[in-house]
Structure 1
């Protein structure tokens, strides 16, 4: 699905990502793990061309997207749910979701039926302003907006951070369903090791802007977690 080779990324003169190489298999969930400040969010932003500068090779489904701009990568099939959700508070739920549809390759401006199946609350509150939703509901909205792009690859940056437990369970179920029932490829930045082990097929552990371990999730040992994630 996505081949990443010798990826470097910069904010101004700061060299944040350093020589990352990773193969993201189609139809699988790959979790990106590590302490805060190790470059996980920058990694996702780099995949969306949202840093100042990057070098290296990115190949998505055989298409070289290394020099593609953000909107071109979105149209190629990459959708991004950022850590801060970044919904538009004055837009309605429907309008926020439809914002994602502008990245669709077929140019159809529709709310996917899947949104109602995964997050019925959103469909029941189409005309409510996004800014009036709870944090967990806004996270559901951000995922729904990403699904409106019709993605091949979904990038999720700590989707359960700071969210009430009842909605965390809904979001976790939705992520697993998107992958296991619909075959969507997912890169998941996650701090919850239990969920990463349950949902993921593969993992990559980051430290100081580099990948220090990767492989099948069965190789995500307690020792690795202790060495690279405990404070």
Structure 2
């Protein structure tokens, strides 16, 4: 039974919590081992995060998102207990989870801004999208590495799941430590796309949200 004063299925728009949870998932996923247990737990964490996103921005697609989260949680749990999951399945499902979260949070933030203006939760949603884009690009790198004939990185490796996420965020933030660099043209092209996406997003979307939040407070 829903709490008094809240209609069942109404969005909460608690994107501040979503942003914090997304950051924790990113850090935890990088730290997890690159084995069946680690990949399984990573899917479970992303499934939990998608559930939080669905609750924060509940809409007509809520049931579909819940089904995706449930499938990811089940497969992740199977992987965590030792069931070997195909690489393409893990990467594909992880990419679907990240893509679904990016789209859902974006639509939810737009609806929230239209209804209540720019608030702290709108800024939190904007930051959550930024972090989720980093996870999404990491899955793209994983897919390219799995499909390519050679090593994805010039250092002679395709990288572990955590290393690809780590590299994705160095590209997204244009930090570029240089310890991991793409070897082929496809990887370099995707990296440049991620760099442009990260910088344009920060100077346009996040800057607009923060600027309007300050104006609202004033």
Rg (Cα) greater in structure: 2
- Larger proportion of strand: 1
Higher relative contact order (CA 8 A, sep 6+): 1
TM-score, normalising length from structure 2?
A: 0.30
- Larger proportion of helix: 2
TM-score, normalising length from structure 1?
A: 0.29
